[in-house]
Chain A
Amino acid sequence: MTRRVVWHAACVAALAVLLYPVAWLLTASVKPANEILSSLRLWPERVILGNYAEVLRGMAGVTVWQFLANSLIVSVGSVVGTVVSCSLAAYAFSWLRFRLRGPLFAFMVMTILLPVHVLLIPQYTIFQRLSLVDTFWPLVLPKLLATDAFFVFLIVQFMRSLPRELGDAARMDGCGPVRVFTHIVLPLSKPALVTTAIFTFIWSWNDFLSQLIYLNTPKNYTLPLALRLFIDQTSQTSYGAMMAMSVLTLVPIALFFFAFQRLLVEGVATSGLNG
């Protein structure tokens, strides 16, 4: 009994330390700027909503809703592209037989570990030639071509574990590989597809480097870029508004976390997903 109490106490204490920055962010977003840098108290002396009002006024002549819409376009586009292309490739790797399967699979796994920086400059050159810089295409198009090889791997692992007999039975009934995919493998792979979708959303929502490179004008900025613009434009006097903006950018991640925490954690535990 006492052991259990001590255990809970230890867990809660560790969590309190770990989540302190999150609590600090939430309360700082409703504090006046001078209080953020002058008081150690976590709880605000008086709660103000002015920081949020300032954020909603937008910046560089662009509303916050525009930034939000841009982020959503990029993230939703990435999710659709990744789920479609990665599940197609994963089906081929796990259920179909073809000569180059071994070498191609090995190559696919290798690309998971390849630092993206070695591809950045030529990819940028390609998109620049196509006049697609400062559009959302360079951020979404690669996802349609299954460049997030990790998710191919994740879905392959899942599809391999599905019972083969189902496919054999369907083939007896005259189903070809396409029907087996759409009617059997795809519906049964839903957990892996949902995990892929959520992680793709969160990763592209948080993504900074490629958005920084490809989006140049404020009207195309996503939330992380807008936040960075905000940091550059303001001094310490707007710390409150900066924190309010930070909270707003984290809201979708928090919602996904609360809705799918079990699936997310299981996804990490079984596949070694690493944010």
Chain B
Amino acid sequence: MAAQQTVPQVDPGPRGVTASRGPRRQRPSERPGIAYLFLSPWVLGALLLTIGPMLASLYLSFTDYDLFTSPGWVGWENYRNLFADDPRFLTAVWVTLKYVLISTPLKLAAALAVALLLNRPSRAQGFYRSAFYAPSLLGASVAVALVWRVMFDGGGVVDQSLTVLGVSTGGWVSNPSYALLVIVALAVWQFGAPMVIFLAGLKQIPQELYDASAVDGAGWWRQLRSVTLPMLSPVIFFNLVLETIHAFQAFTGAFVISGGRGGPVDSTLFYTLYLYQRGFTEFRMGYASAMAWVLVLVVAVITAVLFRTARLWVFYAGEEGR
């Protein structure tokens, strides 16, 4: 199946290795020791910088730790405080959820729309594809977040244009009702990467399906609903999972646009920003570790839920026969 080679899969797992390995043969010259030698930097990193720290932060999340004195066990207190005693934490959760729920669908919709627009035979396609992709490379930087801040600030381009149109909103950056939207706009602006992935998926859809449906009298809209979207659903799913996980961890935009504070009145207090404040400006590292573990669990649960719902709407060609 050609689609499976180029269209990215969420997790091909170790089975993919077996599949492409070909027939099993004994190769006496190949000692397993050599493999571990090649793997040693990665293994070292996995032990010292991933597994070790994961266990350590799990332990720290049950302690009171400020980096300079040794951690003291407090049991579930950090977790209890998070949910029962810390309104800013609940605000951060709410702000982040709003951000994920607004920015991810908008970003994917923009990506899909532009991919559909670009998906036609033309020599200019490569040029357009690169140009639409460019913001994805630039958008993660402090510099572009700063541009957003100045453009949406009081007296900035957006404020002035709206005033010309007779709508007065003032500066969005300093308005608690609009500040989050500035960061959403910055995220949506970077739709290029999922767009490129969508475009690659669109090219994998066999032309015969369109020809056959045209013979049956299907118009553009009908083809979109009955051919394009079902055939593209694995790629939509892939992008949805990645972008959702990504959105939960957004940091730079919120930090730069709110000057590191998450304001005005905590309206852009992203989860990671609050975690940074607690852990690295107040040095409440046990508390911040508990926050990090809550984030991991939330991301894991949401990913699991997405995979569950995928059975309802993701269509894998060639699977009906099973």
Binding site for B on A (CB under 8 A): 4, 7-8, 10-11, 14-15, 18-19, 21-22, 24-25, 28, 36-38, 40, 84-86, 88-89, 91-94, 96-99, 101-109, 111, 113-126, 128, 142, 144-147, 152, 160-161, 164, 171, 176-178, 181, 202-203, 205-206, 208-209, 212-213, 224, 227-228, 231-232, 239, 242-243, 245-247, 249-250, 253-254, 256-257, 261-262, 264-265, 268-275
Closest residue on chain A to residue B272 by CB atoms? A117
* Beyond A119-B54, A178-B34, 20 extra complex contacts between A and B, CB < 8 Å: A7-B117, A18-B135, A18-B189, A86-B42, A88-B40, A106-B13, A107-B46, A113-B245, A116-B249, A118-B53, A122-B53, A146-B42, A177-B34, A208-B141, A228-B142, A242-B146, A246-B142, A269-B199, A272-B242, A273-B193
Query: Is the beta-carbon distance between B272 and A40 smaller than 8 angstroms?
Result: no
Query: Is the beta-carbon distance between A21 and B189 smaller than 8 angstroms?
Result: yes
B255 at the interface (CB under 8 A from A): yes
Query: Is the beta-carbon distance between A147 and B45 smaller than 8 angstroms?
Result: yes
Q: Which residues of B contact A247 (CB under 8 A)?
A: 143
Classify chain B's interface size. 35 or more
B263 at the interface (CB under 8 A from A): no
Q: Which residues of B contact A21 (CB under 8 A)?
A: 144, 147-148, 151, 189
B208 at the interface (CB under 8 A from A): no
Q: Which of B87-95, B126-134, B225-233 contacts A (4 or more CB under 8 A)?
A: B126-134
Q: Which of B44, B151, B259 contacts A145, CB < 8 Å? A: B44
Binding site for A on B (CB under 8 A): 6, 8, 11-14, 16-18, 20, 22, 27, 29-30, 32, 34-36, 38-46, 48-50, 52-54, 56-57, 60, 67, 114, 117-118, 120, 122, 124, 126, 128-144, 146-148, 150-151, 153, 155-157, 160-161, 164, 189-190, 193-194, 196-197, 199-200, 238, 242-243, 245-246, 248-249, 251-252, 255-256, 259, 272, 275-276, 279-280, 285, 288-289, 291-293, 295-296, 299, 303
A122-B252 contact in complex given A92-B35, A152-B42, A249-B141, C-beta closer than 8 Å: no
Q: Which residues of A contact B137 (CB under 8 A)?
A: 202, 253, 256-257, 264, 275
Q: Which of B11, B142, B285 contacts A109, CB < 8 Å? A: B11
10 A-B interface contacts by CB (under 8 A)? A15-B132, A114-B54, A119-B57, A120-B292, A177-B34, A178-B34, A206-B140, A253-B137, A261-B133, A269-B197
Q: Which of A102, A121, A250 contacts B285, CB < 8 Å? A: A121
Taken together as a complex, chains A and B put the C-alpha atoms of A85 and B153 apart, in Å, by 44
Taken together as a complex, chains A and B put the C-alpha atoms of A219 and B136 apart, in Å, by 30
Taken together as a complex, chains A and B put the C-alpha atoms of A105 and B19 apart, in Å, by 14
Query: Is the beta-carbon distance between A145 and B11 smaller than 8 angstroms?
Result: no
Query: Is the beta-carbon distance between A118 and B6 smaller than 8 angstroms?
Result: no
Taken together as a complex, chains A and B put the C-alpha atoms of A71 and B301 apart, in Å, by 37
Q: Which of A25, A86, A98, A257 contacts B147, CB < 8 Å? A: A25
Taken together as a complex, chains A and B put the C-alpha atoms of A262 and B133 apart, in Å, by 11
Taken together as a complex, chains A and B put the C-alpha atoms of A254 and B29 apart, in Å, by 47
Q: Which residues of B contact A152 (CB under 8 A)?
A: 42
Query: Is the beta-carbon distance between A36 and B150 smaller than 8 angstroms?
Result: yes
What 7 A-B pairs come out closest when comparing CB atoms?
Answer: A145-B45, A272-B8, A246-B143, A102-B14, A122-B53, A122-B56, A89-B42
Taken together as a complex, chains A and B put the C-alpha atoms of A144 and B45 apart, in Å, by 8
Taken together as a complex, chains A and B put the C-alpha atoms of A213 and B249 apart, in Å, by 16
Query: Is the beta-carbon distance between A232 and B259 smaller than 8 angstroms?
Result: yes
Total inter-chain residue pairs, C-beta < 8 Å: 298
Q: Which of B43, B52, B246, B303 contacts A122, CB < 8 Å? A: B52
Query: Is the beta-carbon distance between B49 and A147 smaller than 8 angstroms?
Result: yes
Q: Which of B122, B138, B292 contacts A115, CB < 8 Å? A: B292
Closest residue on chain B to residue A10 by CB atoms? B117
Separation in Å of the A188 CB from the closest CB of chain B?
16
Separation in Å of the B184 CB from the closest CB of chain A?
15
Taken together as a complex, chains A and B put the C-alpha atoms of A118 and B291 apart, in Å, by 9
Query: Is the beta-carbon distance between B295 and A115 smaller than 8 angstroms?
Result: yes
Q: Which residues of B contact A147 (CB under 8 A)?
A: 45, 49-50
Query: Is the beta-carbon distance between A105 and B147 smaller than 8 angstroms?
Result: no
Q: Which residues of B contact A181 (CB under 8 A)?
A: 38
Taken together as a complex, chains A and B put the C-alpha atoms of A86 and B46 apart, in Å, by 12
Taken together as a complex, chains A and B put the C-alpha atoms of A250 and B147 apart, in Å, by 12
Query: Is the beta-carbon distance between A15 and B193 smaller than 8 angstroms?
Result: no
Taken together as a complex, chains A and B put the C-alpha atoms of A264 and B180 apart, in Å, by 30
Taken together as a complex, chains A and B put the C-alpha atoms of A91 and B144 apart, in Å, by 37
Q: Which residues of B contact A111 (CB under 8 A)?
A: 46, 50
Taken together as a complex, chains A and B put the C-alpha atoms of A178 and B38 apart, in Å, by 9
A118-B14 contact in complex given A111-B46, A125-B67, A228-B142, C-beta closer than 8 Å: no
Query: Is the beta-carbon distance between B32 and A99 smaller than 8 angstroms?
Result: yes
Separation in Å of the A131 CB from the closest CB of chain B?
13
Query: Is the beta-carbon distance between B256 and A228 smaller than 8 angstroms?
Result: yes
Taken together as a complex, chains A and B put the C-alpha atoms of A10 and B43 apart, in Å, by 50
Q: Which residues of A contact B120 (CB under 8 A)?
A: 7
Query: Is the beta-carbon distance between B17 and A94 smaller than 8 angstroms?
Result: yes
Query: Is the beta-carbon distance between B49 and A117 smaller than 8 angstroms?
Result: no
Q: Which of B41, B251, B280, B289 contacts A88, CB < 8 Å? A: B41
